[in-house]
A and B are shown apart, each in its own frame.
With several copies, the nearest count.
Chain A
């Protein structure tokens, strides 16, 4: 079965991203397909490579990146939500005159259409939020 995952909250503050991660991992391990993981609202905060969580805690960003590498996951960060919250890739930095980027290479920034398309192409949409 084909799943789409939407994540509405950033890492650590809410458990949403944790739950989404374990759901996604379990789905992939069962042989299901995950068409796309879409990060929306504060969920865009899951995609920054600048986090340094305490050593005795999980690294939420890296955990997603590793899962994505293993299963060739498409992890998309909403551009409008990212602009409001300061998540930037090279293209965004150029367009908006920013002197740095912070996105982790496992993620890509794109439009909200990617969420709608994921909902159309997948058999189930799961939303993880506050």
Chain B
């Protein structure tokens, strides 16, 4: 089965992203939302390295949350795809279950 994992906390404040990536199986997807979107922004070496090490995992970021925080699309880490709420719904439907790393 394939999972959609969601992370809504800043990787600088909480360990949720690290824990999520440590448990996500190959073939699963991770969606960053709310304060979790900071994990998808370029330039923070430590976090960027963790995201890039997540091989075999598809990475997404919730666009509305990314933009709310003053981050524009050109700041996205390569390989992270932006979705809106409708795209979030699609991701939840396409994967067999959703695991929230709250």
Instruction: Give me the interface of A with B, judged by CB distance under 8 Å.
Output: 1, 3, 8, 15-16, 19, 22-23, 25-27, 29-30, 32, 124-130
| Bound Cα distance from A128 to B98, whole angstroms | 11
- B44 proximal to A (CB < 8 A): no
Query: How many Å from the CB of A31 to the closest CB on chain B?
Result: 10
Mark interface residues in B88-102 (1 if CB within 8 Å of A CB, else 0): 111011000110101
Instruction: Give me the interface of B with A, judged by CB distance under 8 Å.
Output: 6, 8, 33-35, 62, 64-65, 84-86, 88-90, 92-93, 97-98, 100, 102
Q: Is the CB of B102 within 8 A of A8?
A: yes
Q: Is the CB of B88 within 8 A of A26?
A: yes
Contact (A30, B34) CB under 8 Å given A1-B93, A126-B98? no
Q: Is the CB of B64 within 8 A of A22?
A: yes
Q: Is the CB of A130 within 8 A of B97?
A: no
| Bound Cα distance from A25 to B34, whole angstroms | 17
Q: Is the CB of B102 within 8 A of A130?
A: yes
Residues of A within 8 A of B85 (CB): 22-23, 25-26
Residues of B within 8 A of A3 (CB): 92
Q: Is the CB of B98 within 8 A of A19?
A: no
Residues of A within 8 A of B62 (CB): 19
Task: Give the nearest-CB partner of A18 in chain B.
Answer: B34
Contact (A30, B92) CB under 8 Å given A19-B33, A125-B98, A127-B102? no
Contact (A32, B93) CB under 8 Å given A15-B34, A23-B85? yes
